[in-house]
A = this chain, B = another copy of it.
Amino acid sequence: MEDGTQAAGGAKPSRIQLRNRKRILDAALDVFSMHGFRGATLDQIAEASGLSKPNILYYFAGKQEIHVTLLSGLMDTWLDPMREIDPDGEPLEEILRYVHRKLEMSRTLPRESRLFANEILQGAPRIGAGLVTDLKPLVDETAALIETWAAEGRLKPVDGRHLIFSIWATTQHYADFDAQVQALMDGRDTHDEAVVFLDALYRRMLAI
Q: How many copies does the complex hold?
A: 2
Majority-rule SS of A interface residues: helix
Q: Which of A148-191 contact B (CB under 8 A)?
A: 156, 158-159, 161-163, 165-166, 168-170, 172-174, 176-177, 179-181, 183-185
Decide: B34 and A135 in contact? CB cutoff 8 A.
no
Most buried by B among A37, A124, A166: A166
Let me know if A53 is at the binding interface, CB within 8 A. no
Q: How far in angstroms is the closest Cβ of chain B from A163? A: 7
What residues of chain B lie closer than 8 Å to A132, measured between beta carbons? Answer: 183
Let me know if A200 is at the binding interface, CB within 8 A. yes
- Tell me the complex Cα distance, A74–B39, Å: 23
Let me know if A114 is at the binding interface, CB within 8 A. yes
A124-B193 contact in complex given A37-B39, A136-B184, C-beta closer than 8 Å: no
- Tell me the complex Cα distance, A206–B87, Å: 29
For the complex with contacts A36-B36, A124-B183, A166-B198, 11 further pairs of A-B residues with Cβ separation under 8 Å are A117-B176, A118-B121, A121-B176, A124-B179, A128-B183, A135-B183, A136-B183, A159-B196, A162-B197, A165-B194, A166-B169
Q: List 21 A-B residue pairs with CB atoms under 8 Å apart, sorted by A's residue number.
A: A34-B122, A36-B38, A36-B118, A38-B39, A121-B121, A121-B176, A124-B179, A124-B180, A128-B183, A131-B183, A131-B184, A140-B184, A161-B185, A162-B197, A163-B197, A165-B194, A166-B201, A169-B170, A201-B201, A204-B205, A205-B205
